[in-house]
A and B are shown apart, each in its own frame.
Chain A
């Protein structure tokens, strides 16, 4: 029978302690991540002075993500074409298919889906690579050779990701619009002239395309920072690295969706 003495060992006490510890841990990590982010920005000189380092990383983050981005973009656009046609047809507005495909891609799907794919393709790879370099003492070795790993390893990856992300998002959107065109115009037979001209008159460069690019740059910063931080902070063991890789994908996907809401609220609030 539980008495007051049992409080010391009770499940409640332990779970409250656990919760408190986890909260403290989370706050501590956020602080550490912020400091890490500032350190990366401050040590970015090398990434630009020796741009070859950044180009090399752009191969691994950007070029290697191309296939998945292009193929997904095409399919997403084709699905948009089909679904959009089905819906618009009910109102006799098939001609607006171009607008629907282009606006949904350029404003939302392009930046967001490309960012989610980028997080799982490039983000996880970055975390695994940095985590392994840490686990095998490569980062320590670099420090002992009087080379700052933040400047030499982390910063070039950061800038490669930040540069690659908007390019990938643009390719995703362009590919998606092409997919929508294939299905809508070539397959279903929406008027080609209406498709392009309605799209052109409804999509605004500044409001839609530029805002989409700004979104993808912000997502690029968020994903690469999370991926690099998780790798840098990973416990130097096999489980540590694999756990960090998972956390990168989960955290950066959530961050992308949350940031997307905030950015959308700011960008399109005063519009209509």
Chain B
């Protein structure tokens, strides 16, 4: 086969392959892991994080503003410390509250941020003080059953 024809086909193959890779990178996937350079991290302490996992989304008003970077257990306060990595584009007041929510009844858990009214903004390595733990379904059901039982009991 002619050398130039061969080179042409191989060139076409490489271009198509790279186009496929680009398609996968841009159209199919997204850079969910926000790089350390264009983000800042704040910590939040929760009594119970339920089923929250690293890389879970952080949403404010329903918009994804970051990802959970790390979760660990503080052995002195017996609390869960969740490191939130937030996109630099979004700034939140100091008194922002964080809550662990569930999308739908049984869906994935995420961190919801509710902005406060402070004029100072959260900076890298700051801490969010107002937190609300995950609603654990078992506790909820337990409480409901308990309540029913109490109600039904003779006075």
User: Do A and B contact each other directly (Cβ–Cβ < 8 Å)?
Assistant: yes
B29 and A209: CB pair below 8 A?
Answer: yes
* Residue A266 interfacial (CB < 8 Å): no
Contacts known (A63-B13, A66-B13, A201-B30); A213 close to B21, Cβ less than 8 A: yes
Task: Tell which of A167, A173, A207 touches B33, judged by Cβ atoms closer than 8 Å.
Answer: A207
**How far, in Å, is A150 (CB) from chain B's closest CB?**
23
Stretch at the interface among A2-10, A12-20, A52-60, A235-243: A52-60
Q: When chains A and B are docked, how far (Å) is the Cα of A174 from the Cα of B9?
A: 20
A55 and B30: CB pair below 8 A?
Answer: no
Instruction: Mark each residue of chain B from 1 to 19: 1 if its CB lies under 8 Å from any CB of chain A, else 0.
Output: 1010011011011101110
A205 and B29: CB pair below 8 A?
Answer: yes
* Residue A171 interfacial (CB < 8 Å): yes
CB contacts (< 8 Å) of B20 on chain A: these are 167, 170-171, 173-175
Contacts known (A168-B17, A174-B20, A174-B23); A203 close to B29, Cβ less than 8 A: yes
B residues contacting the other copy or chain, number (CB 8 A): 27
A171 and B9: CB pair below 8 A?
Answer: no
B21 and A170: CB pair below 8 A?
Answer: yes
B28 and A59: CB pair below 8 A?
Answer: no
* Residue B71 interfacial (CB < 8 Å): no
Q: When chains A and B are docked, how far (Å) is the Cα of A151 from the Cα of B7?
A: 21
Question: From A199, which residue of chain B is reached at the shortest CB distance?
Answer: B28
Interface residue ranges of A180-219 to B (CB < 8 Å): 196, 199-201, 203-209, 213
B14 and A200: CB pair below 8 A?
Answer: no
Instruction: Mark each residue of chain A from 55 to 87: 1 if its CB lies under 8 Å from any CB of chain B, else 0.
Output: 110110011001000000000000000000000
A residues contacting the other copy or chain, number (CB 8 A): 34
B30 and A174: CB pair below 8 A?
Answer: no
A201 and B64: CB pair below 8 A?
Answer: yes
**How far, in Å, is A2 (CB) from chain B's closest CB?**
65
A209 and B10: CB pair below 8 A?
Answer: no
A63 and B9: CB pair below 8 A?
Answer: yes
Interface residue ranges of A109-138 to B (CB < 8 Å): none
Task: Tell which of A167, A173, A177, A200 touches B13, judged by Cβ atoms closer than 8 Å.
Answer: A167
A106 and B17: CB pair below 8 A?
Answer: no
Q: When chains A and B are docked, how far (Å) is the Cα of A206 from the Cα of B24?
A: 11
Contacts known (A56-B6, A63-B10); A206 close to B33, Cβ less than 8 A: yes
Question: From A70, which residue of chain B is reached at the shortest CB distance?
Answer: B16
CB contacts (< 8 Å) of A56 on chain B: these are 6
* Residue B105 interfacial (CB < 8 Å): no
Q: When chains A and B are docked, how far (Å) is the Cα of A205 from the Cα of B23?
A: 11
Task: Tell which of A168, A171, A173, A200 touches B30, judged by Cβ atoms closer than 8 Å.
Answer: A200
* Residue B153 interfacial (CB < 8 Å): no
Q: When chains A and B are docked, how far (Å) is the Cα of A272 from the Cα of B13?
A: 36
User: 13 A-B residue contacts at CB 8 Å?
Assistant: A62-B10, A102-B29, A106-B24, A167-B13, A167-B14, A167-B20, A171-B17, A174-B23, A199-B28, A201-B30, A205-B31, A206-B33, A209-B28
Inter-chain pairs besides A170-B17, A171-B20, A200-B27, 18 sampled, C-beta below 8 Å: A58-B10, A59-B9, A59-B13, A62-B10, A62-B13, A63-B9, A66-B13, A102-B28, A167-B17, A168-B17, A170-B24, A174-B24, A177-B24, A196-B27, A200-B28, A204-B29, A205-B30, A209-B25
List residues of B whose CB falls within 8 A of some A CB.
Answer: 1, 3, 6-7, 9-10, 12-14, 16-18, 20-21, 23-25, 27-33, 53, 55, 64
List residues of A whose CB falls within 8 A of some B CB.
Answer: 52, 55-56, 58-59, 62-63, 66, 102, 106, 164, 166-168, 170-171, 173-175, 177, 196, 199-201, 203-209, 213, 271-272
